[in-house]
Amino acid sequence: MFIQCRNSIPSERRAKWTYTLDYPSDMSPNTPKDFSWQGQRVFLTGHTGFKGGWLALWLTKLGAEVRGYGLDPYTDPNLLSAARLPSVIEDLRGDIRDAARLDKSMADFSPEVVFHLAAQPLVRLSYADPIGTYETNVIGTARVLDAVRRTPSVRAVVSVTTDKCYENKEWLWGYRETDPLGGYDPYSSSKACAELVSAAFRSSYFHPAQLHQPNGHTTAIATARAGNVIGGGDWSLDRLIPDLIAGFTRGEPVRIRRPDAIRPWQHVLEPLHGYILLAEKLLSPGPEAAKYATAYNFGPTEDDAQPVQWIVENMTRFWGGSASWVLDPDPGVHEAGYLKLDASRARHDLGWRPRLRLETALEWLVEWYKASLTTTDLQALTLQQIAAYEHLVASNLESA
């Protein structure tokens, strides 16, 4: 696999070049010099899903000991099996609404870090099952944070919500972390509620002013809001990339709703890198960590907010062969218009910025799904893409 790179800063040095992905396997992202994930115990909810699977694999690559907690995978195939995750992490199955099982699973692992990704994440499914969506996304988040309350080893919590948690004013400006929360549909509003739940637990039990103070506590809680994530290993229903891959694989034209809808697309490794950096900051020694116990946006560059049609046409081109699509005149349920995130806080506090341009992200995911047609073991390729991303970060590069 080849990727083209550019350095984002000096324009006169933006010459493109190519290189292969033969990087040292222990290359880690731009972690502080004195921080290591080696031996860190991480409790990760939602490891049987798309983002959780990538994050679990990345954390083990960095040396962490990961216990995953989630439901059985919804789809077959799924990333858990394709990347052989149970060979590198502890794979527990359980419901985040099951307080007894969740408490025990967290407490007897004594993790330092909790990444909470388990959720019902689909807008259209949330219309069909609003109660289930609220139960998992709101009560489930409260259950996870309540389990943290009873697990004194936990020093850092990153709770994942979404860009859709903002009150969407359908304007062109990027939303900041201080903007009002909202949500038209049950999914979006459940994630806004999850933000409120996290904020309430933070102020009630884990107040940043009391972090690492005498008679205080030792747990820093942050939330992370990212946009539409793409990459290999997602087979969910009702998402653009999995729909395209399914149609291309069957050799059938893919029906596309709302080709003009603009979305903030990102490769899955972009927000995950943000979550990892955020956890590292929350683990900072002493009261320093308190300033990161807040909400963070992780959004793509302006150029990579593209309409659905742009994605579809590029995917069709990269896939080649008989790949094709047709317009579906039925717009379906209400979906929010363009929603842009302002990621200035993540840039400033965490040194995070997007690394993979959208076209490269599409090439990577086409390579991943094409490989999945011929092999059932995608752990090596998934790790190779993580290593390529780490190389971009370590060299302060962006893909072309």
Ligand X SMILES: NC(=O)c1ccc[n+]([C@@H]2O[C@H](COP(=O)([O-])OP(=O)(O)OC[C@H]3O[C@@H](n4cnc5c(N)ncnc54)[C@H](O)[C@@H]3O)[C@@H](O)[C@H]2O)c1
Taking CB atoms, the residue at the shortest distance from ligand X is 49
Residue (90 or 252) nearer to ligand X, CB? 90
Start-to-end Cα distance in the chain: 15
Site for ligand X in 94-123 (CB under 6 A): 95-97, 117-121
* Residue 361 Cα to chain centre, angstroms: 14
Residue 5 structure tokens: 């790179």
Q: How far is the CB of 212 from ligand X (least distance, A)?
A: 28
Residue 138 interacts with ligand X (CB under 6 A)? no
**Beta 17-20 vs 2-6: how paired, if at all?**
antiparallel
Which residue number, 119 or 211, has a Cβ lying nearer to ligand X? Answer: 119
Round to whole Å and give the CA distance between 55 and 386. 10
Among 28, 29, 42, 52, binds ligand X (CB under 6 A): 52
Question: How many helical (H) and strand (E) elements, i.e. helices and strands, does the chain have?
Answer: 13, 16
The residue within the footprint of ligand X, chosen from 141, 198, 228, 294 (CB under 6 A), is 228
User: Is the torsion defined by CA of 44, 45, 48, 53 positive or negative?
Assistant: negative
> Of 162 and 316, which CB lies nearer to ligand X in the complex structure?
162
x-marked contacts with ligand X along 248-287 as a string, rule CB under 6 A: ----------------------------------------
> How far does CA 344 lie from the centroid of its chain?
18
Calpha distance 76→72 (Å, rounded): 10
Name which of 45 and 284 has its Cβ closer to ligand X: 45
Single-letter residue type at 169: K
Please give the residues from 61 up to 90 whose contact with ligand X meets the rule CB under 6 A.
70-71
Rounded to whole angstroms, the Cα distance separating 125 from 272 reads 24
Name the one range near ligand X by CB under 6 A: 48-56, 167-175, 208-216, 362-370: 48-56
384 binds ligand X (CB under 6 A): no
Q: Is 50 in the site for ligand X (CB under 6 A)?
A: yes
Q: What is the CA radius of gyration of the chain?
A: 20
Name, in order, each residue with C-beta under 8 angstroms of 253's C-beta and a sequence gap of 6 or more: 247, 324, 325, 326
**Closer residue to ligand X (CB): 193 or 226:** 226
Residues lying near ligand X in the complex (CB under 6 A): 45-46, 48-52, 70-71, 95-97, 117-121, 136, 140, 160, 162, 226, 228-229, 236
